[in-house]
Amino acid sequence: MFFPTSVWIAIIFTILSVFLYDVRAQSHLYQPFCGPPLNILTRLIMFIQLHFFLTVPEFTEFWCRLYGDTVGVWINGEYTIITCDAELVQQILGGINSKNFIMCIGNDHGLKELGMYQNAIVWNNDVSKWTLQKHIFQALNAHHKASMIAIEKTRQEINRIKISALKNNVLTVDILNAIRHITLAIILEVSLGIQLDSNKSQYLIDCIPDYFKAWKFFLLKPRFIWPLFPLQFFHHRRSILKFREEIQNIISILDPQSTIFLRQLHKNNLTDEVIQSILEMVLASTDTVSVSLYYTILLLTENKKIANQLMDSSDDSFLEVVLQESIRLMPVEPIIIRKSLDDCEISGIHIKARTNIVISLALLNRHQKWFENPLKFDPQRFIQNESSIALSVPMGHGPISCVGQHIAMVEMKTILFELFKEFIFTRMDETRPIIDTKTRWDIVQRPIIKEVLNLLPRKKIVFIGAQSVGKTTLANFIKSHMNGIMISEIARNLMEELNLNTNTMKTLRNDPDKTFEFQTTTIKIQCEKEDEIEHEFAILDRCAFDSIVCAQKFCKKRWRELLDMKETNKCLERYRQKDRYIIFLIEPQKECLEADGIRSIPTNYEEWISFSDSFKMALKEFNIEFNVINVLDINQRYSIVKNALFAHDA
């Protein structure tokens, strides 16, 4: 097999580069952990793996599978410890020598390309400057303000989703992009005191994934192999410049005194670091939070019982463990990269200065040794054993853990609750488990293919009115378009069960006591059915009002005894919750007056109208808001329902 000359030159260049790059290594290498012999051949294999075929998490997994939870390898001319041992990780990140591991591995030339070299906070290895930046970033931990803004921005995005659903007649959402709009809007207002329109926000959001790709390229790839990837090199450099230019445009409209974050930057004479500081604030606050929420929502679509628990929770503690479990299973940052400052001992093992440490959270958090049934999404594990939270280090641990973790958790809890309060999300392909979803494990984790989700409002549509006005027909039509749960014909089904027909129903209605007994039974069944659909999108072609109005007509004064039933009051209380139940009164149309052989229908149009008026009076008496449908055409009726269902805040 023959290769082009250029390929041979590249191969030879790479081999020579690896050899020259590794000559700094000591002839008698100290290897405190097990692993392969780190001779020139092994180093060459590792170099080619890491820079041509595998990401850092994939590289870590490969060698840990071969040699165990902690392995000594060779990365970029230096001895490196890779580990997924939770006990060792706790010692490194939070033990007595944790301050010895506050530097991050990184190629200085690459960090300069990214603007991160001794700059801002994400990868700043100048300890004094990093400490100063940490205090500035932590000044943003105004939790109440962040929560209030998060509610506002989430409601705005919910409105946009509703408007899109009505305009495009498509009940789907690019949920990751929607969340990015929310998180970006929050951080811009909290940290910079500004708002951007939707188009400018989208442009900024589009810059972020490209910057992350550039980060991955420049962070660990030695400068001498950049020429082997000329197209990638220039593309990534353009991506960095594009993002920085957009940040500069934002800075041009800022008031330096508008927020505590900006005031602190200027107060500490960090004018030269403003661009990178704001860039990293936008980068981390927008993307890590968004991807974490994205995977949480996907996992909840697969675990409906947990989603329902989340909605029933009386405080936000369950919300928090749901998020922590999601981050454990699908960590946005699957690796933590550190470098020892000085010689030290960890668990009785001597670690030399400048030893690299790569911690694989992706492996640790899915390890049977540390978590029972680790691939199962189970928030209860953190309720039953709170120490498991620290074990999973969801947002880092120790002196350089995530500086924004507390405000991030406040944001995520608020956004998740608001979205689930409004919508029910389902996946288009529910056959593939979330744990098997295609994702790119790298310096940061992100989905290879973003899932577009189906959405339904977390509401109940209730149709009421006189007999034969088309309630069931409309309910079936809506179900065919929206795929909700149908609760239909409770009274008719009970009649059939009791062998009642039109004639026997006329006899029944002449007996107030038997009519009352029938309506009592109907309400109990109705309440039970409504209990079953508490968290679902459902369509009902009757409700407790049908029994109340019928009892008013045929049971004389006894109808008020229905109000003493706990089931009646439970139903009425539900119908008052206009954010969950939307009531539609369908007015009679002469064309619909038709006997079905079971129900007793009005003898004339005037009696029919009288029934409808009785519904209106009952609704008003019990303070129930309702919408009126007074057209016959099924498509017009559907349009009225849909407009009410996706009504958005002004």
- How far apart (Å, rounded) are the C-alpha atoms in residues 498 and 495? 5
| Residues sharing a CB contact under 8 Å with residue 404, sequence separation 6 or more, in sequence order | 137, 138, 140, 141, 284, 285
DSSP assignment of 421-479 equals HHEEEEES--SS-GGGS-EE-SSS-EESSPPEEEEEES-EEEEE-STTSSHHHHHHHHH
- How far apart (Å, rounded) are the C-alpha atoms in residues 469 and 483? 22
Yes or no: say if 254 and 262 are a contact pair by the CB < 8 Å rule: yes
Alpha helices in 227-303 (DSSP H): 230-251, 260-267, 274-283, 289-302
Alpha helices in 471-565 (DSSP H): 471-482, 490-497, 502-509, 512-532, 544-554
Yes or no: say if 381 and 326 are a contact pair by the CB < 8 Å rule: no
Q: Tokens at residue 66, please?
A: 């071969």
Yes or no: say if 462 and 581 are a contact pair by the CB < 8 Å rule: yes
Beta strands 78-83 and 172-174, pairing class: unpaired
Looking at residue 629, the DSSP 8-state letter turns out to be: E
| Residues sharing a CB contact under 8 Å with residue 145, sequence separation 6 or more, in sequence order | 190
- How far apart (Å, rounded) are the C-alpha atoms in residues 3 and 164? 53
| Residues sharing a CB contact under 8 Å with residue 634, sequence separation 6 or more, in sequence order | 470, 473, 474, 477
Cα separations in angstroms, 375 against 196, 327, 439, 550 = 40, 12, 16, 54
The amino acid at residue 105 is I
The amino acid at residue 142 is A
In the block, tokens 């999108």 appear at: 537
Looking at residue 252, the DSSP 8-state letter turns out to be: T
Alpha helices in 303-360 (DSSP H): 304-312, 317-329
Question: What number of other Cβ atoms are within 10 A of residue 559's Cβ?
Answer: 21
- Nearest Cα to Cα of residue 543 among 506, 517, 513, 572: 572
Q: Give helix then strand counts, H and E, for the chain.
A: 27, 16
The amino acid at residue 281 is M
Is 592 annotated as belonging to a binding site? no
- How far apart (Å, rounded) are the C-alpha atoms in residues 115 and 241? 10
- How far apart (Å, rounded) are the C-alpha atoms in residues 643 and 631? 15
Looking at residue 51, the DSSP 8-state letter turns out to be: I
| Residues sharing a CB contact under 8 Å with residue 459, sequence separation 6 or more, in sequence order | 537, 579, 580, 581, 582, 645
| Residues sharing a CB contact under 8 Å with residue 316, sequence separation 6 or more, in sequence order | 413, 417
Question: What number of other Cβ atoms are within 10 A of residue 364's Cβ?
Answer: 27
| Residues sharing a CB contact under 8 Å with residue 583, sequence separation 6 or more, in sequence order | 462, 464, 543, 575, 619, 624, 625, 626, 627
The amino acid at residue 304 is K
Yes or no: say if 256 and 266 are a contact pair by the CB < 8 Å rule: yes
Q: Please state the residue numbers annotated as binding site.
A: 402
Q: Please state the residue numbers annotated as binding site for heme.
A: 402
